[in-house]
Every structure is written in structure tokens, then in C-alpha cells.
Chain A
């Protein structure tokens, strides 16, 4: 499922339902450009580095926000985070970690690798939708990043 070449927001989640709920919440909050959904760590890294399935993609077109699930198949969220934050070109992309758990060691690891925010996904539909909308609004509309 390769969506448009450029997306303001990239959702990385192996759960289709979570991705759907997230996208729905973002779109309902009035964010114009449709978010890109990637299913695992390999896909997101290929996308960001313009390789594999995304070979030849304009590498300068970087997302303004990555919503990254912690537990992912193949390459997990923490490894993706570590790789992105270790890369000089990518490290300025804000990454919000979205996780089902609030395990202490996950929180510590995420912040050690330089996560910009860590959010525990609420179970309640209304609450979940509100959180996602707020996150999108903040990082896209309020937050400022250096120009490319």
C-alpha cells in the first residue's frame, strides 16, 4: 500500500485498526493532507532513506511528523527511532512514540534515543480520537522545525 510520494504525517503501525482510528482522528481534526500509513520498521526506514520499495523517491521531501508504534514487526519502533535520531539529515523530524504500554523501560529507552514525545494509546475511542487530534494539531500547526 504505497500512498503518495509525500506526506506531512507518517503513521507507522502494524495494527490496521489502530492506523484507521488514527487516520480518522487526524482527518476529522481538519488536517488537510492525508497521512501515510506504513506497517513496519523496514518500510519506514526504506521510505525515509529512499530505498527498497521507495527507491528514487525525492529524499528531500521529509514528513513533518512521524507517529511511531513501539512494537513493530521486523524492525521495531525503538530501533527505527534510534536509526532516525542517529542520522544527521533525519534527526530533526519530530517523532511521537505511540504505545499500548507504559512500561518504564520502554519510556526510558525511547527518551534515551531522543524521542520527541511518548503517548500511551487510550482504550476509549473518544479519548483516543481527541489525543490524536491534539497531537496532530500541535506538531503540525504549533510546533516549528528548522527549514530544510
Chain B
């Protein structure tokens, strides 16, 4: 945006000019705009002000001996000087009112009124100056009118400064938000105009009521000395108040300079000189003009500075905005690609689910066929062997008889394998239903059934600790206990006193149940085979089984969202542990 750059370039060059008397690090708009009246004076400001005051005083001291030196009356000096004052003061008043309307600090409006007052009084002073526009002056002025207007003028402004300084330090100076700033300004302007006009009228219409200050030849009366000293004293009072308040804003710092110049002005042009148009008269007036320009100059510098800041901020905001737009675009692009990836993923999940479902259906019909068709020939084998024995038993010798038994046993074993395999695949396919399961009751029930099934009731030392309830499918969990407990019974059967310990460990997220026996144990070398289908760690003759039981147990536990693990040592027993989550969300199908 070239417009911004042009603007900020111009503003920053103006700011560079303005910062001749300031540090390079100007306050930025980041913390809100700073104004003359709020900006704290920095050491560089203080140094500049001191220098100006020092120069003023030196020049003043140098001029004092020559104050009474009469000079040529230059009539044009008066209107030029007064016009300069009027314009300066009115512009200053305008800018201060402007600051007031932003900051709403009432003391600022008072000070602005002070500048309006001096502007008006300067105008009256010029208009009534004898011999300037008419021999006696305009506005019905008499011989003393101009002198008195000067006195009112030069006593008035310091009073405004005092009022400003005293009010400034106090809380509650801020105009409430409910009140209109414009109306307050209007009230200030109206009362100031009234005051100035009133004073002017007192000096013109009330001329005869006031003491005589100037003699016919232009010499000062005693009254003049008293009045001018009092006027000078008000400026001194203002300076004292300014120093006493030790207020630290740039505005107050420059007000001190202004009041100093004001003191010199009054001293040279009405106290230490002899009359109109001598050196003191001119020098004092020049001081006054310079004094009137200080605040104006500072305000103008500040205005340009603020413009520079505004331009800079605008450019920065535009850059930030652009950056934001870019970030938004990037984020939108990222979101779009994320959405695409998500959709692709969903598609893939759908495809995978469909193919899994197809595989499941295939598996389903496969196991269904197995359960129906695999057993028929097996039954034929067992059946014909049975017929052979029943119908032809008398013709068979002992060996044939044993072989027939062998056929039957193997057929039965095959049947068991098929049934176990079907059970295993059923666990994988069937959805798990969940309900509260009383594990204590379930274990007692299982043990009772196991003991019933055992042909020889061996003495088993059961050590059963209380078991926390769980959630799951009771039938499947019972299958877990049946398999683990029958294993424990089976593999500890060779012990003189089999000991089987059942217990549980309650943990925050899950419950861990365990079955521990003192049986023949197993070698951890074969741990990875423990839960495999048809994996057996012992010979079938010694400990019968198909090798599917633990695979079924593992599958059931995992379908419930739990884990199973074991530890064992050869001839030192085994401990099987399985966990079931407490959170119902896990393992749901």
C-alpha cells in the first residue's frame, strides 16, 4: 500500500525534525496516545527547559541596565506583536481544548481558557492602544485604559496557570463520561469571554474609577509601581506553585518556562523601564511573544509526532492484518487437507470393515460346515467300531478288542478337538453382553462342578480369597474360571496335597484375578506357546487336553478388554493372572 508508506515517510521526517530536543525512543501508541499534559518530562526535556530559562535570565540581566534607554517609537511593532500574540494564544487555546476533549481532564480546559483570555486581552490591548488606530484608542478607551488592560491581562494568565496546577494534582479532575465535553468547553469559552470583556469594560467605561498609572508624559505613578509589582507577583506565585507541585509532565515543564518569560516580560516592559518605546518596552514584548510561542510550538510538535505515530501504527496494523490474513488462509488450507485426509481414512475404514465383515461371514459359514459335516464321518467310525464290538465281540481276540477301544478313544478325542475349536471361534464371533458378575459365587459354582466331575475326589487345599465383582458375560467368564481351575486341578494332581490359591488385586482401573497352584508348572522358555491354539506343553497321556483351553481363556479376557499373563517354573507350580477393566467402555463390540 504505497499511500501508507508515503504518509509514514512524511510523518517520520516531521517526527525526526520534532525530536531534535527529544530522545529517539518516542512513546508509541501501543500503550495509548501520550499527550503533553500526560507525557512525563524526560531528562532531555528538563535540560532543554533549563537551558531556555538560563538564556532568558542571562539576556534579561544583560538588558536590565539598558531598560530605560529610549528608542524610536515603531508604531507597526504594536499591531504585529499583538496580532502574533492573539493568533498564537487562540491557536494554543484551540489545541488545548482539543486535548481536553480527548482526555477530559478539566484542568486542561482551565489552561485553554487562560490562553483564550490572553488572546482576548491582547486584542483589547491593541485596540485600545492610544495612537495606534485612533489617537485615544478604540472601544472608548481613555488614557489609562490600555495600561489597566495590560495589568488585568498579565495578572489574569498566571491565575489561570495557578488554577490549572492546583486542580491538576487533585483527583476528580476528570469530566464524568455522562457529561458532554463540548458543553464544558462552551461554558469555559463563554465565561472567559465574559471575564475578558468585563475587565475590558472596567478599564474603558470604568476608567475614572481606577487609579492613574501613567502620567501625561508617559512616566509611571506610584500606583503603577504597586500594581505592576502585584501583577509581577502573581507570575512569581504561579512559578512557585508550578515548582512546588513538582508535577512532571512536559506541559508543566514548559509552563514554567512560559511563566519565567512572563516574569521577564512584565519586569522589562512595565517595571524596570521608564515608559513606552524604550528598550525594556520592546524587549519585554519580545519575551512575551516568545513565551506565548513555547507551548504552541510544543503542541504543534506533539501533533506532528502523533501523526507520525498514527501513520506508523496504521502501517503496522496493515502489516499485521496482512499477516493475519495469510495465517487464516494457511489454517484454512490445513483444515481442508485434514478434512480430505479424514475422508480418505473414513473411506479406508469403510472398505476395511466391509472386507472384514465378508471374511467374518466366510469364517462363519466355514465353522458352521465344520460343526455339521466333520462329525458325521467321525460318528460313522465310532459307530461301526461299536457295532463290530457289539455284534462280533465273541469272534474278536483281546488285541482286536483293544484296537477297537483305541478307535473309539481317538474318535472321542477328535470330537473334543472339534468342539473346542468351535468354542474358540464362537468366542471370537459372538458379541459380548455385559452385566454385573458376582465372581465369588461364580468361582464357588465352578469349583463345585469340577469336584463333581472328578471321578476320584482328591483332597485339594483350596485357598479362596474374597473376589471383587466384575462386569462381563457370565457364561464366558465362567468358561475362563473352568479352564483355569481345571488346569490347576489337572496339573497339580500328581502332588500329595494339591494347593490351589484363588484371589484378586483391586487396582484403580482394573481388577486382577489370579489362580495359583503348586503343580508341575511350566518352563518360561515356552511362554510364547502357552496361549496358542493346540499348543501343549505336556504329553497327552499324562495330562489329557486339546490345547485350546488357554487360547479360549485369552480370547474371552481380551474380548472383555482385559489381559492375561502367567508365570511358572518347572515343578514349582504356575500362576495365571487376568485383568478385567472396571470401565464399561472397554472391549465392547
Q: A interface vs B, CB < 8 Å? A: 15, 17-18, 20-21, 24, 70-71, 99-101, 103, 121, 123-126, 128-129
Q: Would B412 and A100 count as touching, CB distance under 8 A?
A: no
350-377 of chain B: CB within 8 A of chain A: 368, 371-373, 375-377
Q: Which of B376, B384, B411 is close to A100, meaning CB atoms less than 8 Å apart?
A: B376
**Besides A18-B376, A101-B372, A123-B375, 16 new A-B residue pairs in contact (Cβ under 8 A), listed by A number:** A17-B377, A17-B379, A17-B384, A101-B371, A101-B422, A103-B368, A121-B379, A123-B379, A123-B382, A125-B382, A125-B385, A125-B386, A125-B390, A126-B386, A128-B379, A128-B383
The 9 closest A-B pairs by CB, nearest first: A125-B386, A17-B380, A101-B371, A100-B375, A21-B383, A71-B372, A123-B415, A15-B376, A125-B383
CA distance A99 to B415 in the complex (A): 14
Q: Would B379 and A18 count as touching, CB distance under 8 A?
A: yes
CA distance A119 to B380 in the complex (A): 17
CA distance A116 to B368 in the complex (A): 23
CA distance A90 to B376 in the complex (A): 29
Q: Which residues of A contact B373 (CB under 8 A)?
A: 71, 100
Q: Which of A15, A18, A123 is close to B412, meaning CB atoms less than 8 Å apart?
A: A123
Q: Would A24 and B387 count as touching, CB distance under 8 A?
A: yes
Chain B interface secondary structure, helix, strand, loop or mixed?
Answer: helix
Output the nearest chain A residue to B372 by Cβ-Cβ distance. Answer: A71
Q: Would A129 and B380 count as touching, CB distance under 8 A?
A: no
Sample (19) of A-B pairs whose CB atoms are under 8 Å apart: A17-B376, A17-B377, A18-B376, A20-B383, A21-B379, A70-B372, A71-B372, A71-B373, A100-B371, A100-B372, A101-B375, A123-B378, A123-B412, A123-B415, A124-B382, A124-B408, A125-B385, A125-B386, A125-B408
CA distance A71 to B383 in the complex (A): 20
Q: Would B385 and A99 count as touching, CB distance under 8 A?
A: no
CA distance A123 to B378 in the complex (A): 7
Output the nearest chain A residue to B374 by Cβ-Cβ distance. Answer: A100
Interface residue count on the B side (C-beta < 8 Å): 22
Q: Which of B371, B380, B382, B408 is close to A103, meaning CB atoms less than 8 Å apart?
A: B371
CA distance A130 to B231 in the complex (A): 141
Q: B interface vs A, CB < 8 Å? A: 368, 371-373, 375-380, 382-387, 390, 408, 411-412, 415, 422
CA distance A124 to B385 in the complex (A): 10
Q: Which residues of B contact A99 (CB under 8 A)?
A: 372
Q: Which residues of A contact B380 (CB under 8 A)?
A: 15, 17-18, 21
CA distance A70 to B375 in the complex (A): 13
Output the nearest chain B residue to A100 by Cβ-Cβ distance. Answer: B375
Q: Which residues of B contact A124 (CB under 8 A)?
A: 382, 386, 408, 412
Shortest CB distance A68–B (Å): 14
Output the nearest chain A residue to B371 by Cβ-Cβ distance. Answer: A101
CA distance A124 to B387 in the complex (A): 11
Q: Which residues of B contact A17 (CB under 8 A)?
A: 376-377, 379-380, 383-384
Shortest CB distance A26–B (Å): 14
CA distance A101 to B373 in the complex (A): 9
Q: Which of B368, B375, B378, B411 gathers the greatest number of chain A CB atoms within 10 Å?
A: B375
Output the nearest chain B residue to A129 by Cβ-Cβ distance. Answer: B386
Q: Which residues of A contact B386 (CB under 8 A)?
A: 124-126, 129
CA distance A20 to B383 in the complex (A): 9
Output the nearest chain B residue to A124 by Cβ-Cβ distance. Answer: B382
CA distance A121 to B376 in the complex (A): 9
Output the nearest chain B residue to A14 by Cβ-Cβ distance. Answer: B376
Q: Which residues of A contact B371 (CB under 8 A)?
A: 100-101, 103
Q: Which residues of A contact B377 (CB under 8 A)?
A: 17
Q: Which of B375, B383, B386, B415 gathers the greatest number of chain A CB atoms within 10 Å?
A: B383
Shortest CB distance B33–A (Å): 83
Output the nearest chain B residue to A24 by Cβ-Cβ distance. Answer: B387
CA distance A62 to B128 in the complex (A): 148
Shortest CB distance A118–B (Å): 14
Q: Which residues of B contact A20 (CB under 8 A)?
A: 383
Output the nearest chain B residue to A105 by Cβ-Cβ distance. Answer: B368
CA distance A15 to B383 in the complex (A): 13
Shortest CB distance A22–B (Å): 10
CA distance A32 to B10 in the complex (A): 126
CA distance A62 to B385 in the complex (A): 35
Q: Which residues of B contact A126 (CB under 8 A)?
A: 386
Q: Which of B373, B376, B408 gathers the greatest number of chain A CB atoms within 10 Å?
A: B376
CA distance A24 to B384 in the complex (A): 11
Output the nearest chain B residue to A25 by Cβ-Cβ distance. Answer: B383
CA distance A20 to B371 in the complex (A): 21
CA distance A123 to B417 in the complex (A): 13
Q: Which residues of A contact B412 (CB under 8 A)?
A: 123-124
Shortest CB distance B386–A (Å): 3
Q: Which residues of A contact B415 (CB under 8 A)?
A: 123
